[in-house]
Amino acid sequence: MAAASRVTPVLGRFRLVRGLTVVAFSLTLAACIAGPEPTVATFEVSSGEQFTIELLTPELVDHAQGLLAGQQLATVPSGSVVRGNSSVNEPWSWHIDPATLEFTNVTIESCDGSPQHVEDDTAAFERFCPWSARVVAVEGPNA
């Protein structure tokens, strides 16, 4: 009986260590699958609503940081709307395809609006370019 009582704590510790190893491996795997944290710019429009766009290139990061610092640069973010996936743009159900993002000073009026207009599909936005948008934050590993 004495030998059996010594084995039970050892088995319990083994199961605990094995369980913790599985948890640690799962968390590591999830981080690898998710990929690195993106660098994002948060914009605010005249209505006070905010939206976020991933910045894929160092040039876009530099441009957004310049706008945040008050530099006179092209100010209007413009990009293709992707519906049904918020990506970095919580709480909205859409995001701007970061591969299509550009900053400009001149756009067509039909892509101007607010994040809520895109959410409601008020104007069937294929491209979103809110004229009143201003950068309020740039965050992430490359910020």
Q: What is the pLDDT of residues 62-71, one digit of tens each?
A: 999 999 999 9
Half-sphere exposure of 83 (CA within 13 A, CB side): 10
Q: Is the pLDDT of residue 36 over 80?
A: yes
Q: Note the pLDDT of residue 25.
A: 47
The answer to whether 143 and 38 are in contact (CB under 8 A) is no
pLDDT at 17 over 60: no
Check residue 12 and give its pLDDT: 55
Q: Mean pLDDT check: name the lowest of 52-56, 115-119, 120-124.
A: 120-124
Residue 134 has a pLDDT of: 97
Pairing verdict, β 76-83 and 94-96: antiparallel
How confident is the model at residue 9, as a pLDDT?
Answer: 58
User: Going along 1-143, which residue ranges are E strands?
Assistant: 40-44, 50-54, 76-83, 94-96, 102-104, 127-128, 134-139
Answer yes or no: is pLDDT of 23 > 60: no
Q: How far apart are CA 130 and CA 142, in angstroms?
A: 25
Among the listed ranges 10-19, 98-107, 131-140, which one has the minimum average pLDDT value? Answer: 10-19
The pLDDT, as a whole number, for residue 30 is 42
The helix (H) or strand (E) run that includes residue 28 is helix 2-34
d(CA 100, CA 34): 22
CA 128 to chain CA centroid, Å, is 17
* pLDDT over 50 (residue 24): no
